[in-house]
Structure 1
């Protein structure tokens, strides 16, 4: 009996938002069976939500020291209440509304307002000059500085040197050795505009006078290698190995080493003088790698070519060839030990280069010897892949034939000793024995007849080189 009373009071108008508006919205959504009680309840809830949004917007208005409520306040209130904002309304360009003329046929109809559209004159638009659209914004990555030096790329502004940095070069220094700070000075017969263009094009690290003097004294102490100046050369290498503060000179020293190796190998490198020059340059490279205060990782791509060129060059001085290849392999091993964790692809790339030099047909004996020395520097796995699994030992044995053992054969035997040390009491493999016969056959198939005959006298050594465990 109380339920009919509740139904009678639910249809009464309790707020300013009418239930008819709820029914109109429901019909636009395809809901036609909406009851009066549900429509009245929804109208009350909508009115409450409107009051809540307006109160929140009024708070933004008061904080902005304004007395007029704007659409931006409504948007901020909707964002705070986690309601999707209204799109198409902005306080910066409010829409202009016009009142429509009254309809004579329906005098009881209320006023109708509409948004006024801007009228566009097509003749005026065609006569006006067309504005070209600018290019869209794009992004690209580039090196702003590497080790404190701006690289010479179009994205970076040219470095204009100060007047205090324009000092003449040290007396006795070559223009190709020192950093080009002297080229920043105007020369006779060159106009000021030309000198300004040169200054804008050059992006060089200006070295102090002390570093320039150090560079000159260092290079003159190392090259040419005069036997009477061995003490100076030792002191210069010790300075490269231990002195701190040489980071600014590092790119110039690496370039000096590379140019020296190219110059020594360019004409064949058959004289003893060329061999001594290469030894000094390799010593300088090893000293730079030993210096823990230098950050040499960005320059590894410049350090590797001189080392590999010396290691794999076909014509080195006969009296220095073995020593030079051994030094190069030791420096290569030191470099891989230090930087292989930072650059995991360094060892595979070097090993691929060495394998091509070892197995490719038409290579000289010096190149193959250097490749084997390089594989020894990389490690046991590289030796096994190059000489045993890749057939490098078989290729070397077929080229050597039955000549007297030379440095190439000795390098292969040294590689076998790295894989497995010879036994103190060697026991020869017996081809008639059932246990030794498969090992002898595999020796001839994998290593060839030349090196198989040298390993058949030591069964333990032969099995270690082939990777056969003693249990099997």
Structure 2
């Protein structure tokens, strides 16, 4: 589909719409060719949409799809067959200028506000610590002993899960702290007093120290365990010297 506009018609439209009175002849010829080619391509795409929809009459909706395919702005105020309401331009004249606009529907502000859903009373607050929710107005007092017991057991099992690398690090560090090699023991104590990455395994280290003290202080011990207790106290002292660790909860 070839459409060719005349240079005179493009010159007339340019003077009336864009106030371009000083275009040279070469610019007018180039502009005419570009407009003719663009309109031809749009009509071809609109006919493709027409055939795809199996219709006989070309509508403004087909041309709007053609504009969309070519990444061009749609026709504002045009009537399409799929529109629920007929969108027409309204004319306004102000300060010797003519303006066309489309009437917008008035939307009530109350319709835009989404009502907040109420929180179910049997759900624990997101700030719950170890299965206990804070005592605030949004959290009513609920007697759920069975559920809280299950949650506590679940938290106790999963609260100190560490990676495989951290498990190896914990094993090597504790073995170095109680070994007979003084150089390795000093190196391990230096790590305990300066390393800021021990927070993840801090609970395990404290458990290791407490269990070691409990086992070595039992009256059933057949030999002197003072050396092991000394090493454990050195571990405790090194952890207390580490300012990067949070030890208040322990």
User: Common fold, TM-score beyond 0.5?
Assistant: no
Q: Which has the larger radius of gyration?
A: 1
TM-score (norm 2): 0.43
Between structures 1 and 2, the one with greater helix share: 1
Kindly indicate whether structure 1 or structure 2 has the higher relative contact order, using CA contacts under 8 Å at least 6 residues apart: 2
TM-score (norm 1): 0.25
